[in-house]
Chain A
Amino acid sequence: MTGAMSGTDEMDHDEALAAEYVLGTLPRTERLVAAARTRTDAGFAAQVALWEERLAPLADAYEPAAPPPDMLARIETRLWGVQAPEPVARGWRRRLRPMLIGLGLGTAFAAGVLIALLPTPGPVMLDLAAAEGDGPHFIAELEGAEGRLTLALAEGPEPSPGQDYQLWVVRPGGTPEPQGLIRDRRLAVTTGELPAGTLLAVSLEPAGGAPPGQPHGPVIASVEVTAEAAAGIAEGARSAP
């Protein structure tokens, strides 16, 4: 009802905030608060999206500029490491399978061995967004119904001496389950099944981790496993048919 009453020369407070957020003029602290709201407040996020669309034509004024020719290689190295596997793994396998049959290449055993050696669908990557604008964020690689998870500190400092980053898994309707400490910027664990709606969260804790039970320190980064991601993680498990 608020909108119906407001005069024509004052925008609704949230709408003004959304516009200023998109324009980019908010002071740093207000900006951080607004950015956090876009992740938790669907109504506010929708207003932000509307303003992005309204102002988008202004972006025509940005002149395109060719990035350095090795930019894609740099990005891929950062995402997938130096020996990035070919992106067509699935297609390759699909093509190879009829080929094996067509060539009448031996027994099911031979085919099974060959197919098992072929690349599997890649892991699902999730970004644990920083709770504060430029706080540390983490990238999780998840694969398989048993929930093989590798977490890397993607950006931001390591914890101060006397502190640790700790990973938690909160399944829908469940309580936070500690998964381990992120030491030397990495953690590899097997979490068990990760259904859609599961929250992955990293908290800042005293060295050694939180006392048993709940995270004590602040949650500094988190991500929710979407239905799509959950399906992708499980798909990664079906390595050999």
Chain B
Amino acid sequence: MTMVETPAHRGGRGDHGRPDSTPSPDNDPIGALILRVARNDRAAFRELHANSSAKLFGIALRMLSHRGEAEDALQEVFVRVWSRAHRFDPARARGMTWLIAVMRNHCIDRLRARPDLVEDDAALAQMPGPGATPEAAAIAAGEARRIADCMARLDADRAAAVRGAYLDGQSYEALSRRFGVPMNTMRSWLRRGLMKLKECLAE
């Protein structure tokens, strides 16, 4: 029994599925595994773990900067993936994008639940030095190059704020302290930065 399943069959929510968006082991192997997990396929769950846990653990380590907590987060995220796989909509996201969103959201929720000081220290301790970002290694892929190009068009401070928020989960409070600007200023910096990014990516 193959798991051919178009998004239109998956709860009928929202999008009228693009016919080419059903993930196959070729075009989106992770997405294909998640669809199998949604059908309670434990073998697929193990395969998914084998193929994505290192990336997800890397995210948890960087965002939470605490090994024990990162292990808890990884465990929690895989429990959620098992029970929420049916919410994965291949018309909207690729499998890995979805997993990364689940992990980042979980880490951000943990960070926001921490007392401020811990969060700041953790986030600041994790800031990569300028130029040392491993992002450079990733620009081979066309999309990564595009977002890197677009990030480069932002003011350096604003690009750094976007990265600090996305990669390290820094809050407006933490970012405004780090850049020495009021929170409202930081918020409009980031909003404008994101809008420019969107326009640039749409070009």
Contacts and interface: CB of A to CB of B under 8 A. Distances in A.
Interface of A: 8-11, 16, 19-20, 22-28, 31, 35, 42, 45-46, 49, 52-68, 71-72, 74-75, 78-80, 84, 87-88, 121-122, 124-127, 129, 133-134, 139, 154-155, 226-229, 232
Interface string B86-105: 10010011101110110011
Interface of B: 9-15, 38-43, 45-46, 49-50, 53-55, 57-59, 61-62, 71, 74-76, 78-80, 82-84, 86, 89, 92-94, 96-98, 100-101, 104-105, 108-109, 112-113, 133-135, 137-138, 141, 143-144, 146-148, 162-163, 165-167, 169-173, 175, 187, 190-192, 194-195, 197-199, 201
B194 A11 contact: yes
Given A27-B173, A54-B197, A87-B42, 13 more contacts: A23-B165, A52-B93, A53-B97, A57-B141, A58-B166, A60-B144, A61-B163, A65-B58, A67-B53, A75-B49, A129-B84, A154-B79, A232-B40
Contact of B74 (A11, A67, A79): A67
Nearest to A74: B75
B83 A125 contact: yes
Contacts of A232: 39-40
Contacts, number: 191
B112 A31 contact: yes
A23 B195 contact: no
A222 B84 CA distance: 12
A80 B40 CA distance: 12
**Interface class of chain B by DSSP:** helix
Contacts of B94: 53, 56
